[in-house]
A and B are shown apart, each in its own frame.
Chain A
């Protein structure tokens, strides 16, 4: 069945086409059967009527003549009877005598008919080929003329009368009937097609609605529901769809709420930590200044406290930054920026200008958020310096639509398993270095910043083995600015 379907042209594979074909096939079969049946019955009726007419009229004519027929007959009597019977095709026989032939001979009458008349002694008829050699079918009638003795059943008198009639008239009538039967049954086909289309519409409309609702659901409209009409299988399907959508809606809403709660919690905690941390930072600064006056153990402790406090402060800042992205509160502040200049400023500010080999073409001007670019560049270069091996190469390329900034180191590169995960929060590629300098949020923040510019960061390994991070930013048109403000970012 499926192979048959695949062999059809595309337009004929749809449910509608299949329904129409099926209906038409059924209608055609039904019409053919009806036409055939009506044809057969019409043929039977017409033929029977025609034959009965021929036989009755012949029998009546003989009945009329018989009392005046001299018996036993002479040749002259036989000739006379033959000439007086209507139709002009009669042959009268009595024992071995035969009336004078009228254009055809007694041999032209089917022998089996004559034998049957003689044997059975009743009127017989038979359809056969015309004795004139024509192709048309004729009706042969054979009649034994009966005689009756007192107190007995009638017996054949020995006189037999044969005649035939052309059936061209009835045949024509029959073919006319057949044609009209066919034509009438052909009228059923357009009707069947119409019905099929109506039926298809009834089936396909719910299917179309279901498709539309599914698309809306897939597009994120969890409120998409179908109107349930009737109580058929399609209504069942709609009902099931609604239940599914409702369950999905509940689940997703619950998850979203939980996620929002978790994020709010992180944001709140980060904010709460800020104040005590500010105080702690101030204290540790004092401790650092005073550490020279402390005993050696206390010096070490003070330095340790200072380091960890600064790390904690950076972690809290990063967390607050991330929670701004999550809350959709991050905004782009776009200005016209010379990218090469911006990258150099970042490296200079961090004191990395001598540690990084740069290939920065001048004059690449594009609109972007300079502070966020600084964050991204600092993060990528910082990672390369911390985790990779020198030389670290920073390259800028530009096309009319995109700028591409990549940072490559010459270290061992990233393991394949790690590549998909590097932008995840708190993901540490090197489990042995879980107490690294970073907060574990740097790449995540860089990625969010790139996203805010409708850009991407890709992590990959350079052909020579080092890790390569590539930032791709679209050169934003002016329209993006307003859009970014309206939407609160790309997501």
Chain B
């Protein structure tokens, strides 16, 4: 009797587990990222890189962020900001994600050779690119951003 009952229960349990059954909502990790009103650019307040959102209507790619940064400060931006980036002799700008999930930034002069920049300028570039990288779900850490082949870090949290 007990045996028969056990068998029936086992069969029921097996049958109940058949097929693909509905579930309640289940969490499946973070959602996708990357929508924004524009890239976040970093200018200097004193010596400290400070974020400013440049509202171009979309996040845009890495090079767009870099180009907007080189375009400098507009009148919509808060007062007291400055930029250490060179304004003349700037040639081709590019920033792209490598296969190793790091971002290589190239800032060339008119002649195609790397443009020399001071460390404030490099900080601005690194912070801007890091922010852009994080904005679309990238991972930012040591060696994530290379400026003209040299690894650099943003001094503030992006």
Residue interface bits B110-143, CB-to-A below 8 A is 1, else 0: 0000000000000000000001001111000000
Q: Does A124 contact B (CB under 8 A)?
A: yes
Q: With A63-B137, A68-B58, A126-B25 given, is the CB distance from A159 to B17 under 8 Å?
A: no
Which positions 12-46 of chain B face chain A at CB distance < 8 Å?
13-14, 17-37, 40
Residues on the B chain within 8 Å of A70, using CB? 57-58
CB pair A124–B58 under 8 Å, yes or no, is no
Interchain CB contact under 8 A, B21 and A127:
yes
Q: Within the complex, what minimum Cβ distance (angstroms) separates A294 from chain B?
A: 100
Closest to A128 in B: B22
Distance in Å from the Cβ of B5 to the closest Cβ of chain A? 14
Flag whether A141 is at the interface (Cβ < 8 A): yes
Minimal beta-carbon separation of A237 from chain B (angstroms): 30
Q: Is B61 an interface residue (CB 8 A)?
A: yes
In the assembled complex, the Cα of A462 lies from the Cα of B40 at a distance in Å of 135
State the CA gap A36–B9 with chains docked (Å): 13
> In the complex, how many angstroms separate the beta carbon of A354 from the nearest chain B beta carbon?
84
B39, chain A: closest CB distance, angstroms: 9
Q: Which residues of B contact A148 (CB under 8 A)?
A: 33, 36, 131, 134-135
A385 to B151, CA, bound (A): 145
User: Which residues of chain A are near B27, meaning CB under 8 Å?
Assistant: 120, 122-124
Task: Report Cα–Cα, A121/B32, bound state, in Å.
Answer: 11
What 1/0 flags go to A106-137 for Cβ under 8 Å of B? 00001011001100111111111100000001
A170 is an interface residue with CB less than 8 A from chain B = yes
Q: Is the interface of A mostly helix, strand, loop or mixed?
A: mixed
Asked if A170 contacts B20 (CB within 8 A), the reply is yes
- Knowing A59-B31, A66-B136, A147-B36, the reply to whether A178 touches B25 (Cβ < 8 A) is no
**Chain B contact patch, size range:** 35 or more
Contacts of B19 in A (CB 8 A): 137, 171, 174-175
**A154 contact set on B, CB distance < 8 A:** 30, 33
| Alpha-carbon gap, A120 to B61, bound state (A) | 29
Q: Collect the chain A residues with CB atoms within 8 Å of residue B17's CB.
A: 36, 39-40, 43
Cα distance A359–B34 when bound, in Å?
A: 134
A71 within 8 A of partner (CB): yes
| Contact of A463 with B by CB under 8 A | no
Within 8 A of B (CB), among A41-91: 43, 47, 51, 55, 59-60, 62-63, 65-73
**Chain A residues positioned under 8 Å from B21 (CB to CB):** 127, 137
Decide: A143 and B32 in contact? CB cutoff 8 A.
yes
Task: Indicate whether B98 reaches chain A with its CB closer than 8 angstroms.
Answer: no
Query: Does A144 make an interface contact (CB < 8 A)?
Result: yes
Cα A72 to Cα B51 in complex, Å, equals 20
What's the tally of chain A residues with a CB closer than 8 Å to chain B?
61
Residues of chain B contacted by A126 (CB below 8 angstroms): 22-26
Given known contacts A55-B28, A171-B19, A171-B20, A145 and B33 CB-to-CB distance under 8 angstroms: yes
Taking CB atoms and an 8 Å cut-off, the chain A residues in 139-179 that contact chain B are: 141-151, 154, 156-157, 159, 161, 167, 170-171, 174-175, 178
A476 contacts B by Cβ under 8 Å: no
Q: Which of B10, B26, B31, B37 contacts A71 (CB 8 A)?
A: B37
Question: Quick check: is A32 within 8 A (CB to CB) of the other chain?
Answer: yes
Q: Which of A33, A43, A112 is B25 in contact with, Cβ under 8 Å?
A: A112
Q: Is the CB of B28 within 8 A of A141?
A: yes
User: How far, in angstroms, from A432 to B155 measured CA to CA in the complex?
Assistant: 140
Interface residues of A in 215-268 (CB under 8 A from B): none
Task: Find B35's partner among A32, A66, A125 (CB 8 Å cutoff).
Answer: A66
Contact of A122 with B29 in the complex, beta carbons under 8 Å: yes
Given contacts A32-B14, A66-B136, contact A143 B157 (CB under 8 A): no
Residue ID in chain A nearest B65 by CB atoms: A67
CA distance A251 to B70 in the complex (A): 122
List the A side residues contacting B24 at CB < 8 Å.
112, 126
Q: When the two chains form their complex, are residues A123 and B28 in contact, meaning their CB atoms are under 8 A apart?
A: yes
Complex Cα gap A175–B33 (Å): 37
B85: interface (CB < 8 Å)? no
**CA distance in complex: A146, B157 (Å):** 19
A103 to B26, CA, bound (A): 25
Option from B20, B30, B59 in Cβ contact (under 8 Å) with A67: B59
Do A147 and B135 have beta carbons less than 8 Å apart? yes
Given A47-B20, A116-B25, A124-B25, CB of A66 within 8 Å of CB of B34: yes
* Cβ B31 vs Cβ A156 within 8 A: yes
**Assuming A59-B31, A66-B32, is B51 touching A32 (CB within 8 A)?**
no
A285–B22 Cα gap in the complex (Å)?
A: 126
CA distance A136 to B27 in the complex (A): 22
Given A62-B32, A123-B29, CB of A67 within 8 Å of CB of B61: yes
Does B158 make an interface contact (CB < 8 A)? yes
Known: A69-B58, A112-B25. A159 touches B51 (CB 8 A): no
Chain B residue nearest to A171 (CB atoms) is B20
Chain A residues whose CB sits within 8 angstroms of the CB of B32 once the complex forms: 59-60, 62-63, 66, 123, 143, 145-146, 161
A residues sitting closer than 8 Å to B (CB atoms) are 29, 32-33, 36, 39-40, 43, 47, 51, 55, 59-60, 62-63, 65-73, 110, 112-113, 116-117, 120-129, 137, 141-151, 154, 156-157, 159, 161, 167, 170-171, 174-175, 178
Can you give 10 A-B contacts (C-beta < 8 A)?
Answer: A43-B17, A63-B136, A69-B58, A124-B26, A125-B25, A129-B22, A147-B36, A148-B131, A150-B51, A157-B35
Ranked 4 nearest A-B pairs via Cβ: A66-B34, A150-B51, A62-B32, A116-B25
